[in-house]
Chains A and B, each alone.
Chain A
Amino acid sequence: MRSAEMTAAPAETRQISLSFLRPSRSTVVGLVAVLLFLILWQIAPSMGWVNGRFTSRPTEVFFAALDIFRNDSFLYHARISLTEFVAGFALAIVVSIPLGVLLGTSKIARYLIDPPLMALYIAPTLVLLPILVIWLGIDMAPKIAVVFLGAVFPIVLNTMAGMSEADSRLLRMARSFGASRFDIFTRVLVPGSLPALLTGIRLAVGRAVLGVVVGELFVSQAGIGYQLNLYGQAMRIDRLLVYALIVSAFGYTLTIMVRSVENKIRDWRSK
């Protein structure tokens, strides 16, 4: 009965691989819209509709991008920001997963730490930035801390939810076959909460990227946020837009990557 679906799969992939040759109507409309926007943006300052000083032009942004990648010590600043991001995020994962597991499996731990955790999750951790700077200085440390604080809560809360909301019928089934607590943990709870964990990581990515940029904007000596500050004061709209694009592309790519893993697992086809 499902064999039709199975045989349909290769045909589908063939279709995808050729699809760029015969673009669908929606891609055509989308491309045309983007193109129109770029043209409008390009000619608007020359026509006197807007002040080009504030809007820049697509061509200017393009050349600014070339400039930045060639001789703006871009790699240096990107490396600083990336280091802060990776360090803070790694720290968040290392702390949040065990904490989430503990909270998800122990009711007492949950009663104890859930309310303050919830409050911290909802409160914008960025308000702590001035304090973190006082404590940790103006180097990478406060940014790492902000990234950590931004990322840790969504992962903890989602891991906890994934563990504690495990299907009670599956737990009972496992017990009926004499599963030990350890068996139930490794064979039922962990695989069952993996999608929730990944959701947490995906939500954490956005907050972590925000943390890096805002942390550097607030006070720093290097990094993408530092560059943004610099060009903001110089009113270099073209360069600011290039950096905005870079940051968005970074967050977007990571989110898409996590989501694709998430979808794969949620599909329950893995293993």
Chain B
Amino acid sequence: MAQIEIRDLGIDYRKPKSNEVFSAVDGVALSIERGEFVTIVGSSGCGKSTLLMAVAGLVNLSRGSIRIDSKEVIGPGPDRAVVFQEASLLPWRSVRGNVKFGLEMQRWNGGDLNERAMQMIRLVGLGRFSDYHPHQLSGGMRQRVNIARALAVDPEVLLMDEPFGALDAQTREIMGTELLRIWERDKKTALFVTHDIDEAIFLADKIVVMGRNPGHIKEVIKVDLPRPRDEAVLDSEDFNNLRRRLRAHLAEDMSSMQLVQEVA
């Protein structure tokens, strides 16, 4: 059986003003194998972040179920860690203090907290900056801390919500390569949400393409590009074919949205 089993998932929100109910995600079914790197791609408003937050246990389900290692997800747990879109670092803590935060919350007993934190900080390439505070770091460095904090608790599943979305294109590419390097070490299951097509292909074993109104899965695409990967793969024929396929999906979504706007 797959490590993560999502069945008939539906998540409804109540709009705060009108009390109207709308579905962010509906009828989602997905299986993720242990050690798979899965990217979820779709245009904004397709519920991809909501889906991720549901797996994190931070959102209440309206229908269906999520199981991890056949255990039902009812809230956050030490088997998962989230890398947030915004670095969400505690501004009064140093880099090391921030990386230690998750360990402290989970009452980590696998040895010295400082040592563990420093290992992770070095892993993401911030060894020299462990005493810096978030306001002294660039956006890319903050996301490295964000990633180190999640890796520190040694989760079975790493959940990433557009972690590079706010970074410039170059930094983004570097971070993607770095992330793969780190992931290759122990190949823990990873779920990565993005709206960037290249990023979605570059990282993935499997791409989940989502559409909107309500958020649903349109297609799941296997990616067979050889690993370990580097930037060279971006120019390969296979990569181009995947890119074309994803672009068609997103273009379809865009045109349907425009249609709705014109009618309205």
Residue A2 is within 8 A (CB to CB) of chain B in the complex: yes
- With A169-B86, A187-B101, A269-B133 known to touch, is A177 a contact of B92 (CB < 8 Å)? no
Q: Are B81 and A2 in contact (CB under 8 A)?
A: no
Q: Which of B83-128 contact A (CB under 8 A)?
A: 84, 86, 88, 90-94, 97, 101-102, 104-106
Find chain B residues with CB under 8 A from A169 CB: 84, 86, 88
Interface size on B, residues (CB 8 A): 31
Residue A217 is within 8 A (CB to CB) of chain B in the complex: no
Other-chain residue from B56, B90, B97 in contact with A176 (beta carbon distance below 8 A): B56
- With A187-B104, A271-B92 known to touch, is A178 a contact of B77 (CB < 8 Å)? yes
Expressed in whole angstroms, the Cα–Cα distance for A172 and B52 within the complex equals: 13
Find chain A residues with CB under 8 A from B133 CB: 268-269
Q: Which of A163-191 contact B (CB under 8 A)?
A: 167, 169-170, 172-179, 183, 187-188, 191
Q: Are B84 and A174 in contact (CB under 8 A)?
A: no
Find chain B residues with CB under 8 A from A178 CB: 76-78, 105-106
Expressed in whole angstroms, the Cα–Cα distance for A187 and B106 within the complex equals: 13
Residue A233 is within 8 A (CB to CB) of chain B in the complex: no
Q: Are A174 and B92 in contact (CB under 8 A)?
A: no
Q: Are B105 and A183 in contact (CB under 8 A)?
A: yes
Q: Are B106 and A177 in contact (CB under 8 A)?
A: yes
- With A2-B136, A179-B105 known to touch, is A271 a contact of B84 (CB < 8 Å)? no
State the main secondary structure of chain B at its contact with A: loop
Expressed in whole angstroms, the Cα–Cα distance for A183 and B90 within the complex equals: 14
Interface centre among B84, B88, B133 (most CB of A within 10 A): B88
- Nearest CB of A to B128, in Å: 8
State the main secondary structure of chain A at its contact with B: helix
Please classify how large the interface on chain A is, using the bins under 10, 10 to 19, 20 to 34, 35 or more: 20 to 34
Find chain A residues with CB under 8 A from B91 CB: 268
Find chain B residues with CB under 8 A from A172 CB: 58, 84, 88
- Nearest CB of A to B113, in Å: 13
Expressed in whole angstroms, the Cα–Cα distance for A28 and B262 within the complex equals: 68
Residue B82 is within 8 A (CB to CB) of chain A in the complex: yes
- Nearest CB of A to B156, in Å: 14
Q: Are B102 and A177 in contact (CB under 8 A)?
A: yes
Find chain A residues with CB under 8 A from B129 CB: 2
Expressed in whole angstroms, the Cα–Cα distance for A64 and B146 within the complex equals: 63
Question: Using an 8 Å CB-CB cutoff, how does the interface string of A1-14 with B read, 1 for contact, 0 for none?
Answer: 11001000000000
- Nearest CB of A to B191, in Å: 13
Residue B153 is within 8 A (CB to CB) of chain A in the complex: yes
Interface centre among A2, A183, A188, A194 (most CB of B within 10 A): A2
Residue A265 is within 8 A (CB to CB) of chain B in the complex: yes
Residue B13 is within 8 A (CB to CB) of chain A in the complex: no
Q: Are A271 and B105 in contact (CB under 8 A)?
A: no
Other-chain residue from A1, A175, A192 in contact with B76 (beta carbon distance below 8 A): A175
Expressed in whole angstroms, the Cα–Cα distance for A5 and B137 within the complex equals: 12
Residue A270 is within 8 A (CB to CB) of chain B in the complex: yes
Residue B22 is within 8 A (CB to CB) of chain A in the complex: no
Q: Are A177 and B58 in contact (CB under 8 A)?
A: no
Q: Give me the 7 closest cross-chain CB pairs, A-B, nearest first.
A: A177-B105, A173-B88, A177-B102, A176-B82, A179-B105, A268-B91, A169-B88
New contact pairs (4) apart from A178-B78, A271-B93, CB-CB < 8 Å: A172-B88, A177-B101, A178-B76, A191-B92
